[in-house]
Structure formats: C-alpha cells, structure tokens
Amino acid sequence: MSITKLHERFERIERAYFAALAGRDPETVPPSIWRPAIFAAVPDASTEEVTAMFHWRARKAKRKWMLQANTTLASHLADKLERELPGA
C-alpha cells in the first residue's frame, strides 16, 4: 500500500474515532464505544491498523508542534536580532 493510501486510510479511521467521541474528552469515552464505531465505518480495518493510526496521530501532532515551536523560535530570534542590530 502506498504511503498516500495508508494516510487516507488512517484519516478514515481517525474520522470514525472522532465521530464516536462526538466532542467528548477522549479520556471519558471507553473503547467499547469507539472501537465498534471504527470497525463499522472501516469494516476491513484490523486492530493493528487502528493501533498504527493512533501512533500516526501522535507523530502528526508532534510534527505540528515542532513546526510551530520552530516558527516561534525563528520569529523570536529574528525579533531579538532586530533589537540588537539597529538599522538592520
């Protein structure tokens, strides 16, 4: 399976997971609610695939956080440089 197809599949599983959560805190929703919702939405999904989706979500969130942190750091350093180097 190509990486694009794999990500699309993870996104389908993720959408089913969020639909099952229905805006509730994930910590308050037992697996007995979201698991059947995922398997109903993506019938051929395996338990391993659902687990891989959660790992993928964690990596995706980490990349997003790192990008935001790097952008914030770069902006901070640019501001600091402008203050320290008059006329720059």
User: What span, in angstroms and rounded, lies between the C-alpha atoms of 35 and 87?
Assistant: 60
Flag whether pLDDT at 87 surpasses 60: no
Confidence of residue 84 (pLDDT cuts 50, 70, 90): low
Question: pLDDT per residue over 19-75, tens digit each?
Answer: 999 999 988 999 999 999 999 999 999 999 999 998 888 888 877 766 666 666 666
Contact residues for 17 (Cβ-Cβ < 8 A; gap 6+): 34, 37, 38, 53
Question: What's the confidence (pLDDT) of residue 12?
Answer: 93
Taking each helix axis from N to C end, the angle separating 3-21 and 47-84, rounded to the nearest 10 degrees, works out to 100
